[in-house]
Amino acid sequence: MVVQTAWRFLAFLCLLPLSGAAWAAPAPKTTVLMIQWRGETPAEKGFKDELKKTVAGIAFVTFNADQDKDRLLDYLHKEFTGQARTFDYVYSFGTTASDMVRRVLSTVDAKGTVHIMNIIADPVAAKLADSQAAAGENRIVGCHLVPLETQLRNAMKIIRFRKVGLIFNPREGNSNIQLEQVTNLSAKMGFTVIPIRIKPEQEELEAALRQVEEKQVDVDCVYLLSESFLVSHAKEVVRRLNAAKIPTIAAVEQYMQEGALTGTIASYDKLGRLVARTVAKDLKNRRIRNNWPVIIDPSPEFLLNTATASSLGIALEESRVPGLKRIK
């Protein structure tokens, strides 16, 4: 009789609605605001996947700026400023978004909030990191660009060039920094830079590509910058330059995935995971004002797309280029 009564009581409990404070899921211990610039990239996916594996009780809040500065600024001023203190970490993608977040974050009372800036081409030049050795207090910075001279010297093992075309967007600081760096290296390395200026608009990109296709600008190859607008059109850009028989040098992996000829590149996924591991270390030492070095991919890959090389009439012996990884 006692057993039957007990079972009836348990059955009754099972019918009760799962509501009220006693039944609520535990609140997250760590909250990360993810500010995306052009949607989720492999860097954000790798970052989140790694943190979920290594940090218990973590929650993510996401905002996608969709490559719109006004949209991001509106969010930062109308919503973020009142919520900043509720986030343990604020993650931002790319130089443009990270600089905007940094400026707003510096105006609010959120001393305990750590700013994670990932996929930054040159964090020191962009003034997002104090130095490569120490990014600054309450900052975690990931840099995805392999040193430019390494990229170009590797490219010279694949193709000969004297005139390098460079499609750039002067509205993005990151684009201007890379243009300046390529230009500074040109005399030392024996080539000329042919800048092709565009606004971040489809019609402008179309006109720039047409100039190259129709030989209105004389170039031996095109260096494809790490610049969000251009990267978001990687498929079209690479397809048309390949069709025009113009060799391409890729700064980031998306271009290689779309068939660019060659590039010495870091992995977005790997960098996202490396940044996440630093966050996990930071969480264990929050009483200390941590000052982490800028995070890089320690083993970038020197890639050659063999199908593109074949279409351009480029044939390389296996032993001629040590360290080269061939992809299709």
Domain at 27-144+267-284: CATH architecture: 3-Layer(aba) Sandwich (3.40)
Cα angle 40, 44, 49; round to 5: 120
Tell me the pLDDT band of 318, cut-offs 50, 70 and 90. Answer: low
User: Please, are residues 299 and 289 in contact by the beta-carbon 8 Å criterion?
Assistant: no
Q: Where are the domains of the chain?
A: 27-144+267-284, 148-265+301-327
This prediction's pTM = 0.86
Tell me the pLDDT band of 27, cut-offs 50, 70 and 90. Answer: low
d(CA 263, CA 251): 6
Q: What would the pLDDT profile of 116-170 be if each residue is shown by its tens digit?
A: 999 999 999 999 999 999 999 899 999 999 999 999 999 999 999 999 999 999 9
Q: What would the pLDDT profile of 169-207 be if each residue is shown by its tens digit?
A: 998 888 999 999 999 999 999 999 999 999 999 999 999
- Do domains 27-144+267-284 and 148-265+301-327 share one topology? The answer is yes
In the DSSP assignment, the letter for residue 36 is E
Could you tell me which of 115, 18, 34, 29 has the C-alpha nearest to residue 75? 34
pLDDT at 32: 97
Could you tell me which of 163, 179, 162 has the C-alpha nearest to residue 171? 179
Could you tell me which of 43, 224, 284, 66 has the C-alpha nearest to residue 143? 43
User: Please, are residues 110 and 85 in contact by the beta-carbon 8 Å criterion?
Assistant: yes
Superfamily of domain 148-265+301-327: Response regulator (3.40.50.2300)
pLDDT at 116: 98
